[in-house]
């Protein structure tokens, strides 16, 4: 499939998860076959103020392409300027966040709050699309709540104002991440607009990925929480999509090696102090469901060094194989 002139394999993309989809995780998922990755969301105001953290979030490596930088905000001109900066940071695509349900983002009038203001949403999309000569995409939810399901309207507005694709998370802001995703709304969007539609929500294995494609007719699926502690999911989806081959999860020993590689890369990128702090949550995801994981997860929650993690990984492997 294509987003503008950017060709993307019709397998699976990595979603823009705050606090998770940093450069190291995106590179890892790309190594395992992610067709396309999107950065953590970056504040347009932060970009305009030259915020150091915002610049760090926008760092894109050569190994990641095609990759989008996702921006959020509620001021059209500021968003346009942020898009120009993001393009200079090596982004192939600019993604606009209009779906985040986090209270802090909504309080600032951004994210899924824009689902309640389609007129402003359209102005933002138009300004951003006019400012850059690379594709602009928009990520939305099915609506704000059950009484305002307006993803179709928002997708039409996105297309009208220059968006090259739209990603639809099939839940409302009020639903957050709890109930099953509504595939009907994603299918309705796909049947309404002519730009590509990316389906998002509840993709946890090859079967849920295949079901999303089948039930919605979407052009691409996007994996979020299903990839936490499981970056090889992209390899599995790719093999199934291309050859109908089911690749099993890697053995525990290999899973632990992937975890160590991931966390060592975080530490190399961000330093030991920050890296180990970030490592704790990833280690919990990598060990979910393993024998003896309750005790090991308790130890990982207070992780202090790579050496400690290596020792725990060795014991986990011994206990599970």
The catalytic site residues sit at 100
Residue 177 in contact with residue 198, Cβ under 8 Å?
no
Largest distance between two CA atoms of the chain: 58
Tokens representing 156?
A: 């039409």
Number of H helices, E strands in the chain: 14, 11
Integer CA distances (angstroms), 9 to 17, 33, 36, 149, 234, in order: 21, 10, 8, 30, 12
In this structure, are strands 42-43 and 36-38 parallel, antiparallel, or unpaired? unpaired
Tell me the CA end-to-end span of the chain in Å, nearest whole number: 41
Q: Which residues contact 133 (CB under 8 A, 6 or more apart)?
A: none
């Amino acid at each position: 499939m294509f987003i503008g002139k950017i060709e993307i394999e019709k397998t699976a993309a990595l979603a823009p998860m705050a606090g998770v989809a940093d450069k190291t995780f995106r590179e890892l998922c790309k190594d395992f076959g992610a067709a396309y990755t999107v950065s953590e969301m970056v504040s347009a105001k932060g970009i305009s103020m030259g915020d150091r953290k915002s610049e760090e979030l926008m760092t894109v490596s050569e190994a990641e392409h095609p990759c989008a930088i996702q921006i959020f905000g509620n001021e059209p001109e500021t968003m346009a300027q942020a898009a120009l900066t993001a393009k200079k940071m090596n982004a192939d695509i600019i993604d606009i966040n209009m779906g985040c349900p986090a209270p802090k983002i909504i309080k600032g009038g951004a994210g899924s709050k824009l689902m309640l203001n389609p007129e402003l949403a359209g102005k933002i999309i138009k300004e951003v699309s006019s400012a850059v000569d690379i594709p602009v995409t928009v990520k939305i939810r099915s609506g704000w709540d059950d009484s305002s399901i307006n993803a179709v309207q928002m997708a039409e507005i996105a297309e009208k104002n220059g968006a090259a694709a739209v990603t639809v998370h099939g839940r409302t802001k009020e639903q957050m991440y709890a109930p099953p995703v509504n595939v009907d709304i994603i299918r309705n969007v796909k049947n309404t607009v002519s730009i590509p539609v990316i389906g998002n929500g509840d993709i946890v294995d090859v079967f849920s990925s295949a079901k999303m494609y089948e039930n919605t007719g979407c052009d691409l699926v996007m994996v979020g929480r299903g990839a936490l502690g499981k970056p090889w999911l992209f390899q599995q989806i790719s093999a199934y999509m291309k050859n109908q081959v089911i690749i099993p999860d890697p053995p525990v020993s290999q899973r632990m090696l992937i975890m160590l590689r991931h966390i060592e890369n975080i530490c190399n990128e961000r330093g030991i102090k920050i890296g180990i702090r970030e490592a704790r949550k990833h280690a919990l995801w990598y060990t979910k469901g393993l024998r003896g994981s309750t005790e090991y997860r308790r130890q990982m929650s207070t992780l202090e060094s790579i050496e400690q993690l290596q020792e725990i990984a060795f014991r986990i492997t011994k206990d599970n194989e």
